[in-house]
Amino acid sequence: MKNQSIPPSENYGNDYRRNPHCSQLIQRAVNKVHGSYDKVLVTGGLGFIGSHTVDQLLSGDIKTWVLDNTSTGSKSNLAGHKRNRNLHIIRGNVCNQRSVDKIAAKVDAIIHLAAVVSPVMSVERPDITNAVNVGGTVNLLRAAVKHDIDRIVLASSSSVYGKVQYRRIPESAPTNPITPYGASKLAGETYARAFWATYRISPISLRYFNVYGERQKNNPYSGVIAIFAGNILQNKRNRIFGDGEQTRDFIHVSDVARANICAMEYKDSKANEINIGTGIPTSINELHALIADVMKTKVDEPFKKPERTGDIRESCADVRRARSLLRFQAKVDLKIGLGRLIKTRQSPIE
């Protein structure tokens, strides 16, 4: 397994801003944005990716509004900014057009992260998934038109691709989602393109691959890293579906937050879709062994369960478009990122 090349010997714990290399990249991105946008709305800003994005915006003294219904997010994720006058937290729902309009009138850019994010939950409740992920996105796009907002960054997903036969998936690959979640994200992208064509606003859709890191919850809807780490902490044996050789592209949340910032500065007015990943495939077996190594503990071999219907065999990003258009490249090595995550989980997770 190959990991990204940043110095593995340095440990900055939970605060990636203490890493001089990451801090400089973040500050450079935020400084560029500050010249163009002074007031930004982050929907879902109390959540996993959202709170890290807000961290980076506030580090550049950008006035930041957060709209979050707290269904999965928590104010504790932004507790370190409690006295920051640039932070404004509003409890509300992106499905409520009036709430969206009220805040959109105050800002000049939007990063839209609020969503039902679990493919598993989307299978159980496709109606809610559609209402939030599609209806909420349309509300944000309408508000952008109404208030003449120049830039809106939309969180999409690699789930839009479904099962494709590429070692590294380019944005030009066919989109054929196999879950309601993937379908809802593709619908959001389609609306973004339609709003560009009709109203000439400039949305950009970022197709996140497998995001992990601090503040990620451990529950049945979590990503595999949170589940593996949580079970090991509780001395529970993990399960792997299939042979474990299926691969994923794991990207640290601080890199994803920085990609959101970089996308705000993207100058092309045409709607676009861009993969956000590392371009490095890691098998589930390799991942489990790496987590155990980082935790410095011996663990039992995982249970091997039958492969689940609809599981994707290979998923890794072709990241050339992100490099060329956004000047973005992921920097956090997987082992270092896992160390940061595990350091924050000294006790069993809820």
Q: Residue written as tokens 């006790």?
A: 347
Q: Where are the beta strands (DSSP E) in 69-104?
A: 87-91
285 in a structural domain:
no
269 in a structural domain:
yes
Please give the pLDDT value at position 32: 57
Output the pTM of the full model: 0.89
Would you call 103 helix, strand, or coil by DSSP? helix
Enter the DSSP assignment of 244.
Answer: S
- Cβ atoms within 10 A of the Cβ of 265, count? 19
User: Which has the closest alpha carbon to 289: 330, 337, 335?
Assistant: 335
Q: At what angle do helices 48-59 and 20-34 cross, to 10 degrees?
A: 80
Distance between CA 10 and CA 262 in Å, rounded?
25
Please give the pLDDT value at position 70: 95
Please give the pLDDT value at position 8: 35
User: Where in the sequence is the domain holding 36, given as residue range(s)?
Assistant: 17-211+251-279+316-332
181 in a structural domain:
yes
4 in a structural domain:
no
In this structure, the strands spanning 272-276 and 239-241 are unpaired
Q: Where are the beta strands (DSSP E) in 168-223?
A: 202-208, 210-212
Q: For position 48, which CATH number holds?
A: 3.40.50.720
Give 3-state DSSP helix, strand, coil % of the chain, rounded to 5: 40, 15, 40
The single-letter code of the amino acid at 4 is Q
Please give the pLDDT value at position 155: 98
Name the maximum alpha-carbon separation found in the chain.
58
Q: In the chain, how many domains are there?
A: 1
320 in a structural domain:
yes
153 in a structural domain:
yes
Side-chain-side CA neighbours of 83 within 13 Å: the count stands at: 0
Please give the pLDDT value at position 165: 87
| Both structure tokens of 57 | 């915006």
Q: Which residues are catalytic?
A: 181
Distance between CA 124 and CA 140 in Å, rounded?
25
Q: Are 48 and 226 in contact (CB under 8 A)?
A: no
Q: Are 12 and 340 in contact (CB under 8 A)?
A: yes
Q: Are 41 and 107 in contact (CB under 8 A)?
A: yes
Please give the pLDDT value at position 350: 40
CA dihedral angle for residue 38, residue 43, residue 45, residue 49, rounded to 10 degrees: -110
Q: How far is CA 84 from CA 18, 81, 106, 196, 327, in A?
A: 19, 5, 18, 35, 30
1 in a structural domain:
no
Nearest 5 degrees, angle CA 224-CA 226-CA 230? 115
Q: Are 255 and 331 in contact (CB under 8 A)?
A: yes
> What string of pLDDT tens digits covers the 350 residues of the chain?
334 333 333 344 445 455 555 566 666 666 556 557 899 999 999 999 999 999 999 999 999 999 999 999 999 999 999 999 999 999 999 999 999 999 999 999 999 999 999 888 899 999 999 999 999 999 999 999 999 998 999 999 999 999 998 999 999 999 999 999 999 999 999 999 999 999 999 999 999 999 999 998 876 656 889 889 888 888 899 999 999 999 999 999 999 999 999 999 887 767 799 999 999 999 999 999 999 999 988 888 899 999 877 678 899 999 999 999 999 999 999 999 999 998 887 544 34
| Both structure tokens of 24 | 């400089």
309 in a structural domain:
no
